[in-house]
Amino acid sequence: MTQIFTADGSAIAVTVLNIEPCKVVARRSADKDGYDAVQVGFGAAKRNTTRPVQGHYARQGQEVAGGLKEFRIAADAEFELGQELNATLFEAGQKIDVSGTSKGHGFAGVMKRYNFGGGRATHGAEKVHRQMGSTGQCQWPGRVFPGKKMPGHFGNVRSTTQNLEVVRVDAEANRILVKGAVPGSRNGLVELRPAVKGA
């Protein structure tokens, strides 16, 4: 993250997102497929691209890309095969949802994973300082309910941050500045969509 300054001197924390060259590879229509969507290819082609994937690109007359992602669109949206998608799709002030893979923290306890308070530090407390406490009731029901928050693998899952504001669009450098933080580590791959709940 970095920061920029507004005209009145206020500092805004922003995340710089580079928009890699993306192309429309295929188009889904409600008449043929039951829904409207576009398939977008991004990144450089991989050496071990499978034959079925190569055939999918060949049938559309497009070059093989490193990744493929499908986005639902409106029926009247105008996207052509081979059309390049870049930072000009966004505009300053727009609200977007950003999805990515959150940072992995490995096996973590409940204090780190769920922000539990832990046990007492002193007054006779022994080896319970970071424990979770009671896991359930007594002889009845005699079990731990499913979904109980316990230690386990923390992070490295798909996460979405909603209603982030696009502060600035740099069409020449093909990047956008988003107010706030986005999921994932530095140089991670993220997915940008118009905000579902945003105004």
Q: What is the mean pLDDT of residues 90-102?
A: 97
The overall pTM is greater than 0.85: yes
CATH code assigned to 2-104+155-194? 3.30.160.810
Question: What's the sign of the alpha-carbon dihedral 186, 192, 196, 199?
Answer: positive
Pair of tokens at residue 3: 């920061």
> Contact, 199 vs 95, CB < 8 A?
yes
Asked if the model's pLDDT at residue 44 lies above 80, the reply is yes
Asked if the model's pLDDT at residue 9 lies above 90, the reply is yes
> Contact, 92 vs 170, CB < 8 A?
no
Q: What's the residue count for the chain?
A: 199
Q: Where are the domains of the chain?
A: 2-104+155-194
Instruction: Report the distance separating Cα 195 and Cα 197, nearest Å.
Output: 6
Confidence of residue 199 (pLDDT cuts 50, 70, 90): low
Report the pLDDT value the prediction gives residue 21, as an integer from 0 to 100: 85
Question: What's the sign of the alpha-carbon dihedral 59, 35, 86, 44?
Answer: negative
The CA-atom distances, in angstroms, between 161 and each of 131, 181, 197, 198 are 30, 8, 11, 12
Instruction: Report the distance separating Cα 114 and Cα 86, nearest Å.
Output: 38
| pLDDT cut 70: percent of the chain above it | 99
Report the pLDDT value the prediction gives residue 162, as an integer from 0 to 100: 97
> Contact, 183 vs 190, CB < 8 A?
yes
